Amino acid sequence: MINVIREPLIFEISSPGKTAVKLPELDVPEKKDLLNGVPVRNDIEGFPEVSETEITRHFTRLSQMNYCVDFGFYPLGSCTMKYNPKVNEKVASMSCFTSSHPLAPEKLVQGNLELMKTLEKLLCEITGMDAVTLQPAAGAHGELTGMMLIRAYHTAHGNPRKYVLIPDSAHGTNPSSAHICGYTVKEIKSSEKGTISVEDLARVMDEEVAALMVTNPNTLGVFESDICQIADIVHAKGGFLYMDGANMNALAGITRPGDMKVDVLHLNLHKTFSTPHGGGGPGSGPVAVKKILEPYLPVPVIEEKDGQYYLNYDRPQSIGRVKSFYGQFLVMLKALAYILALGPKGIREMAEVAVLNSNYIRKSLEGIYHLKYDTPTLHECVFSDKYQKDYGVSNLDIAKRLLDYGLHPPTMSFPLIVHGALMIEPTETESRRDLDLFIEAMKAIDREAKENPELLKSAPHLTYVRRLDEVQAARNPILRWEKKE
Ligand SMILES: *Cc1c(COP(=O)(O)O)cnc(C)c1O
């Protein structure tokens, strides 16, 4: 459990003259101005003065106030917060990788290039696509890259087109990527099953539409089972089918987007292929394409000739560079280590257990929490606060109360088509025991909602920081400590 002591600011611990390190008296002449006249700040007003014990304990305590996947269950839907095996970190921290310079000549980094090529080939096999670029630094960056490929193709064929179709259940990055790429987004409404309606799509699809962006399984966890028919409708008008592959944890090793007639998709190595994420990165969002889009891939492209790997920049139709150097090389290594450790059977089992775990939670909480869509789901399920609302309790109150049970809350209020959403994705790395602890906590919270709703509305009670005014915190952040007189 989180330690509920009030940890002061480091400025408040400070007292004059304390220092972490005491050096012996100088026995050589003191040399001033070591920086040859570069101005140095000798005094920072109010700079904290603390002992080594104090500074160590202060930052250790702060670190323990954080929640992480190494501490416990982290069911943040859509984010695939799986446990990341430590062997990945070991591989990525090997000095042969960390000390190789990104501008080193190709002949000195043949091994690095070979590893990246190997990862590209494995991702092609897993997705059923023809070529991969590893450069994009995140899923959203992959989406933008994918949209740029589509735009480059259409432009080369005489007309970039105007619109990109996106279902109303999509992740917010989808419309932003299409918009940044110069397209106008047309939203398509989900059917009552929570999927794309083939009839609606056929009605809006025309020759001004550059692409349809679909997430499969979608953000409700529902598989778009009409995907091949959807692809045919889009292709018949010369459009492309873009798949947001953030949910590949449900499919990998079982089925392949390439076989579903998808033309381009991004993967999130930091979700599906186990790299720690959250707190801002680093991520990696490779983009996989069919042959038709391959000429437009960003430069450089890793190629092989006579057993030597090299970076090819001579690609006249390329959209250009999207990232410096190789992209997020160490993240690629972690993903490669993970894929090779699991092997084809292991990858399939990963997806199967992810789906099993999610359905175990779904079945255990059905009837207690409201499920707007009754359609079978894969790796995640989306409940809502509809039943608890009768007692004045919202999804926010439920999420905050979960903190008192020592659990990270699910994703809230997304997808937008479910009011008061609680989107739960357990991933395959959770044991039956951990799933049960979460289920018991969710059941207990439902009982509390009926018996003592006030307890939930003022939650959390046991955490270091109580309920925050999030609007105030976002609008008027206090980023500087000022000494109180
Ligand atoms: C996470 C996610 C994205 C964006 O990926 P980032 O790596 O966070 O940029 C896009 N779509 C879906 C469905 C996601 O879950």
Catalogue all structural domains in the chain, each as residue range(s) with its CATH number. 86-341 (3.40.640.10), 344-473 (3.90.1150.10)
The residue whose C-alpha atom lies closest to atom 8 belonging to ligand 1 is 139
Ligand 1 pocket mutation pick from 135, 143, 173 by most atoms within 8 angstroms of CB: 173
Q: Summarize the confidence of residues 377-405 as an average pLDDT.
A: 98
Q: Which two tokens stand for residue 100?
A: 């190789």
Edge-to-edge strands, sheet with 370-371: 370-371, 381-384, 421-424, 411-412
Asked if the model's pLDDT at residue 1 lies above 60, the reply is no
The letter for the amino acid at 242 is Y
Residue 109: per-residue pLDDT = 96
How far does CA 390 lie from the centroid of its chain? 34
The ligand 1 atom nearest the CA atom of 170: 13
Q: Summarize the confidence of residues 381-408 as an average pLDDT.
A: 97
- Each residue's pLDDT tens digit, 133-181: 999 999 999 999 999 999 999 999 999 999 999 999 999 999 999 999 9
The letter for the amino acid at 347 is I
- Each residue's pLDDT tens digit, 269-286: 999 999 998 776 689 999
- Each residue's pLDDT tens digit, 304-342: 999 999 999 999 999 999 999 999 999 999 999 999 999
- d(CA 276, CA 82) in angstroms, rounded, equals 8
Residue 473: per-residue pLDDT = 85
When mean pLDDT is compared across 60-69, 83-92, 286-295, 429-438, the lowest value belongs to: 60-69
Write a three-state SS string for 275-287.
CCCCCCCCCCCCE
Q: Which two tokens stand for residue 18?
A: 């304390």
Residue 485: per-residue pLDDT = 59
The residue whose C-alpha atom lies closest to atom 3 belonging to ligand 1 is 139
Evaluate whether 261 touches 235 at the Cβ level (below 8 Å): yes
Give the mean pLDDT of the chain.
94
For residue 484, name the pLDDT band (cuts at 50, 70, 90): low
The residue whose C-alpha atom lies closest to atom 7 belonging to ligand 1 is 139
Residue 5: per-residue pLDDT = 64
- Each residue's pLDDT tens digit, 241-275: 999 999 999 999 999 999 999 999 999 999 999 99
The residue whose C-alpha atom lies closest to atom 14 belonging to ligand 1 is 246
How far does CA 60 lie from the centroid of its chain? 26
The ligand 1 atom nearest the CA atom of 285: 7
Q: Which two tokens stand for residue 196?
A: 């794309």
Q: To the nearest whole percent, how much of the chain has pLDDT over 90? A: 85
Q: Is the CB of 145 under 6 A from ligand 1?
A: no
The larger pLDDT score, comparing residue 477 to residue 415, is at 415
For residue 345, name the pLDDT band (cuts at 50, 70, 90): very high
Q: Is the CB of 221 under 6 A from ligand 1?
A: no
C-beta contacts of 355-364 below 8 A and 24+ residues apart: 355/250, 355/379, 356/428, 357/426, 357/427, 357/428, 357/430, 357/435, 358/221, 358/424, 358/425, 358/426, 360/426, 360/432, 360/435, 361/75, 361/424, 361/426, 361/435, 361/438, 361/439, 362/424, 364/439
Asked if the model's pLDDT at residue 363 lies above 80, the reply is yes
The larger pLDDT score, comparing residue 196 to residue 67, is at 196
CA torsion through residues 271, 275, 278, 280, sign: negative
Residue 3: per-residue pLDDT = 47
- d(CA 93, CA 329) in angstroms, rounded, equals 11
Residue 2: per-residue pLDDT = 46
- pTM surpassing 0.95? no
The ligand 1 atom nearest the CA atom of 173: 10
How far does CA 255 lie from the centroid of its chain? 22
Q: Is the CB of 219 under 6 A from ligand 1?
A: yes
